[in-house]
């Protein structure tokens, strides 16, 4: 066989793995998908049923009496924490990218960018450790009471009780810090590579340097920003360890304010597998696989979309940063 | 034209005022963006300080020489486990990753290469817990390997593979086409050109990419929780049916324990993992910077 054909064959492992991951989860959770139906995403109860009784047959499936699997609280927790994280991360990412690309001399830029972007390299469990050890005490003692006393008077979602510190807001803040460098790095690259003539034209028309940046250079990088935000979204949706350690792992609970505990789909898989294994019918483990399957599909769609946008808008050039 | 004229007709002081307001807005913009960067840097320093100061206080010689015992002891088993799992992952991922990277870089316009590139990017974005649960379902349950080195390494390899593919591709793209043309004109065939000329030229960058993948695998937790399990003992050499410890698990579990000795283990593990990951990243950056300058 020709060399090229061999390479093509070996390279095929990437699609095969991606397909294997999705298909395996789909097949494994098939029974759960049938048993749970569409109610899976609208029910707010995850209940393994009575584990001390004999399994019964319901809708043709062996389950424990009283078992219901619904993940509405996980969907709400995932969406809320991701949304809030993006709300923090996008402006900060834009600001940092602007300052790195425009205000810092280029010989310093490399190393300061590198330092900030090292945040991407820090393992997620270390973020979790940091969140658990310092952020939670700091927020629950200082920031949360302050927020509840000020913003809480105006907006119900900010009103107390301020809880233990394991909260939607804590998870969002830690998540935001993890995804900011994705946005900052990608956007900084795009800002630096904008044509100099654009800036010169704007300055020549009498714009200040910031106006040239804000009204001419930044809009030119708008598409990169959207693509990077999608990438960050994908990362935040699937983040596991850090969220697991700071979110409070709420069960069957919808948050009433930003200080309430939540759980996300990714974190829930880790926190529940041990107890799901107690279910002799295996339906609990299969329902967890259904969550993983849904998460896999969502992340493939979000990331695929992000990469496609970046690819099409950058004329086939891939981003070097992330 | 009318706006220009009307601006000119306005009294001088008013024009100054407009300029001043624009200046204030600009200054405010720079300040805000500078603040954003400052906040990020401060948080980064904060994380590093927490990890390194507390970690350095928790590290003892005994951490490296004793195994975990209940809520104390050392991390010898976890350090060994992390090395075994990561090296196992690299052994699996490097051949496939480099080969797919070569294909993606050398035949960039073929539809298959485009597909590979795209899917590698998508696979990077698949949450690590999804890979971990796939590992649990496929290897721990279906293959019946139980918690094992094989399961953990394969899960980690899936995480590493797209990174290695990507860095290899980018490294080969840096190799000048003149080199390829020269090799072909000397009569070398495709295999000779790629393996004998391009690959050696790109080798430092490829190795850097492999090192970065090693850093990723050392820092991963979620793919290992339900594939490798955890063990307080040293690895018994079996690839299947025997769980193995690793450092990131120690961080996660022992920080939640109410015992100071357990917390110390978590800090020590965080110190080792973060230190290792950062050193590799800084080294990689130096190598890549130097090559970019050449």
Chain B, residues 63-92, CB within 8 A of chain A, namely: none
In which band, very low, low, confident or very high, does the pLDDT at A322 lie, cut at 50, 70 and 90?
Answer: low
Residues B121 and B221 in one domain: yes
Q: What is the pLDDT of residue B250?
A: 93
Quote the number of domains for chain B. Answer: 2
Cross-chain residue pair A235–B137, CB shorter than 8 Å? no
Tell me the mean pLDDT in the region A51-64.
84
Instruction: Specify whether the CB–CB gap between A78 and A198 falls below 8 A.
Output: no
Domains of chain A in sequence order? 74-281+291-313 (1.10.3720.10)
Contacting residues of A for B26, CB less than 8 Å apart: 208-211
Among the ranges given (B12-26, B210-224, B260-274), the one the predictor scored with the smallest mean pLDDT: B12-26
pLDDT tens string A282-307: 899 999 999 999 999 999 999 999 88
Q: How does pLDDT run across A58-108, given as a tens digit for each residue?
A: 888 888 888 889 999 999 999 999 999 999 999 999 999 999 998 898 888
pLDDT, mean of residues A110-126: 92
d(CA B272, CA B75): 10
Between the alpha carbon of residue B35 and those of residues A15, A80, A99, A180, B200, the distances in Å are 43, 26, 9, 14, 44
The rounded percent of chain B whose pLDDT value lies above 90 is: 68
pLDDT for the residue A91: 96
pLDDT at B258 over 60: yes
- Whether residue B41 is found in the same domain as residue B100: no
pLDDT value of position A154: 87
Q: What is the pTM of this model?
A: 0.91
ipTM of the complex: 0.91
Mean pLDDT over residues B200-204, rounded?
Answer: 92
| Least reliable range by pLDDT among A1-5, A291-295, A297-301, B214-218 | A1-5
Whether B219 and B152 share a structural domain: yes
Are B180 and B159 part of one and the same domain? yes
The whole-angstrom separation of Cα A116 and Cα B43 is 9
B139 and B53, same structural domain? Answer: no
Label residue B292 by pLDDT band (50, 70, 90).
Answer: confident
Q: Do B36 and A7 touch (CB under 8 A)?
A: no
Question: What is the DSSP code string of B9-56?
Answer: HS-HHHHHHHHHHHHHHHHHHHHHHHHHHHHHHHHHHHHHHHHHHHHH
> Binning pLDDT at 50, 70 and 90, where does residue B6 land?
low
Is pLDDT above 70 for A248?
Answer: yes
pLDDT for the residue A228: 92
A108 touches chain B (CB under 8 A): no
pLDDT band at B80 (very low <50, low <70, confident <90, very high): very high
pLDDT in tens, A147-186: 988 888 888 888 878 888 899 999 999 999 999 999 999 9
Q: Which residues, numbered 284 to 313 in chain A, qualify as contacts with chain B under a Cβ-Cβ cut-off of 8 Å?
A: 288-289, 292, 295-296, 299-300, 302-304, 306-308, 311
Residue in B with minimal Cα distance to A265: B129
- Asked if B15 and B105 sit in the same domain, the reply is no
Give chain B's length. Answer: 294
B278 touches chain A (CB under 8 A): yes
Domain co-membership, B192 together with B258: yes
Is residue B16 over pLDDT 70? no
**How far apart are alpha carbons A272 and A242 in whole angstroms?**
16
Domain boundary among B58, B77, B93: B58
Most confident stretch, A14-18, A200-204, B290-294:
A14-18
CATH number at residue B282: 1.10.3720.10
What pLDDT score was predicted for residue A321? 53
Tell me, yes or no, whether B47 and B94 share the same domain: no
Residue B68, beta-bridge partner list: B73
Quick check: B1 pLDDT over 50?
no
User: Which residues span the domain enclosing B90?
Assistant: 61-293
Per-residue pLDDT, averaged over A4-9, amounts to 90
Out of B106, B134, B256, closest to residue A21 by CB:
B134
Structure-block tokens of residue A267: 């974190």
Assign residue A165 a region: left if phi > 0, alpha if psi is -120 to 50, beta otherwise? Answer: left
Question: End of a domain among B15, B37, B58?
Answer: B58
Are B8 and B47 members of one domain? yes
Nearest-neighbour CA in chain B from A148: distance (Å): 23
Residue B14 has a pLDDT of 54
Q: What's the first-to-final CA gap in chain A, in angstroms?
A: 35
Judge whether B240 and B150 are in contact, CB under 8 Å.
Answer: yes
How high is the pLDDT of residue A316? 61
Closest CA to B74 of B87, B86, B85, B59: B59
Q: How confident is the model at residue A313 (pLDDT cuts 50, 70, 90)?
A: confident
User: Is the minimum CB–CB distance between B117 and chain A shorter than 8 Å?
Assistant: yes
Average per-residue pLDDT for chain A: 90
**Residues B106, B33 share a domain:** no
Question: Is the same domain home to B89 and B48?
Answer: no
Strands A68-69 vs A46-47: parallel, antiparallel or unpaired: antiparallel
Show which of residues 189-248 on chain A sit within 8 Å of chain B, judged by CB atoms.
208-211, 213-214, 231, 234-235, 237-241, 244-245
Does residue B27 share a domain with residue B115? no
Helix, strand or coil, per DSSP, at residue A59: coil
A98 — contact with chain B (CB < 8 Å)?
A: yes
The C-alpha atoms of residue A250 and residue A252 are separated, in whole angstroms, by 7
Task: Decide the pairing of beta strands A68-69 and A61-63.
Answer: unpaired
CB contact under 8 A, B222 and A28: no
Task: Measure the CA dihedral A258/A259/A263/A265, to 10°.
Answer: 20
pLDDT of res. B52: 95
Out of B41, B58, B75, pick the residue that ends a domain: B58
């Amino acid at each position: 066989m020709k060399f090229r054909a061999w390479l093509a064959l070996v390279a095929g492992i990437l699609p095969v793995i991606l397909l294997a991951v999705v298909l395996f989860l789909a097949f494994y959770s098939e029974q759960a998908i049938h048993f749970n139906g569409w109610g899976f995403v609208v029910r707010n109860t995850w209940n393994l049923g009575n584990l001390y009784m004999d399994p019964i047959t319901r809708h043709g499936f062996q389950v424990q009496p009283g078992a219901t699997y619904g993940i509405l609280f996980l969907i709400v927790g995932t969406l809320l924490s991701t949304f809030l994280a993006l709300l923090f991360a996008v402006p900060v990412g834009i600001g940092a990218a602007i300052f790195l690309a425009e205000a810092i001399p280029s010989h310093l830029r490399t190393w300061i960018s590198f330092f900030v972007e090292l945040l991407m390299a820090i393992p997620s469990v270390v973020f979790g450790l940091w969140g658990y050890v310092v952020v939670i005490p700091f927020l629950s003692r200082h920031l949360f009471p302050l927020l509840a006393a000020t913003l809480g008077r105006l907006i119900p979602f900010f009103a107390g009780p301020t809880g233990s510190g394991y909260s939607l807001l804590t998870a969002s803040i830690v998540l935001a810090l993890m995804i900011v460098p994705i946005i900052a790095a990608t956007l900084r690259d795009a800002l630096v590579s904008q044509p100099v003539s654009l800036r010169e034209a704007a300055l020549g028309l009498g714009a200040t340097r910031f106006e040239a940046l804000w009204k001419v250079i930044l809009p030119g990088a708008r598409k990169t920003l959207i693509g990077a935000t999608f990438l960050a979204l994908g990362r935040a949706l699937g983040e596991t360890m850090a969220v697991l350690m700071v979110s409070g792992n709420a069960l069957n609970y919808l948050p009433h304010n930003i200080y309430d505990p939540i759980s996300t789909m990714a974190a829930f898989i880790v926190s529940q597998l041990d107890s799901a294994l107690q279910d002799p019918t295996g339906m609990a483990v299969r329902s967890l696989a259904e969550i993983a399957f849904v998460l896999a599909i969502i992340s493939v769609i979000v990331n695929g979309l992000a990469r496609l946008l970046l690819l099409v808008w950058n004329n086939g050039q891939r981003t070097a940063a992330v | 034209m009318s706006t220009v004229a009307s601006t000119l007709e306005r009294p001088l002081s008013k024009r100054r005022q407009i300029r001043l307001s624009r200046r204030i807005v600009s200054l405010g913009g720079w300040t805000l963006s500078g603040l954003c960067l400052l906040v990020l840097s401060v948080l980064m320093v904060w994380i590093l300080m927490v990890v390194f100061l507390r970690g350095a206080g928790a590290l003892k010689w005994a951490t490296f020489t004793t195994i975990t015992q209940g809520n104390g002891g050392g991390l010898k088993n976890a350090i060994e486990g992390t090395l075994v799992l990561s090296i196992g992952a690299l052994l699996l991922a490097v051949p496939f990753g480099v080969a797919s990277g070569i294909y993606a870089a050398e035949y960039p316009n073929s539809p298959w290469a485009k597909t590979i590139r795209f899917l590698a990017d998508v696979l990077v974005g698949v949450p690590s817990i999804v890979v971990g649960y796939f590992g649990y379902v496929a290897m721990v349950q279906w293959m019946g390997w139980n918690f094992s080195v094989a399961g953990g390494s394969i899960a980690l390899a899936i995480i590493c593979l797209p990174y290695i593919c990507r860095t290899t591709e980018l490294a080969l793209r840096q190799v000048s086409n003149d080199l390829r043309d020269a090799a072909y004109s000397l009569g070398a065939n495709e295999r000779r050109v790629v393996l004998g000329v391009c690959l050696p030229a790109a080798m430092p960058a490829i190795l850097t990419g492999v090192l970065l993948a090693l850093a990723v695998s050392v820092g991963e937790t979620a793919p290992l929780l339900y594939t490798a399990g955890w063990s307080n003992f040293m690895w018994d050499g079996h690839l299947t049916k025997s769980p193995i410890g690793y450092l990131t698990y120690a961080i996660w579990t022992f920080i939640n324990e109410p015992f100071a000795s357990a917390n110390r283990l978590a800090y020590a593990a965080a110190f080792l993992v973060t230190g290792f990951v950062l050193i590799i990243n800084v080294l990689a950056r130096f190598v890549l910077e130097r090559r970019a300058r050449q």
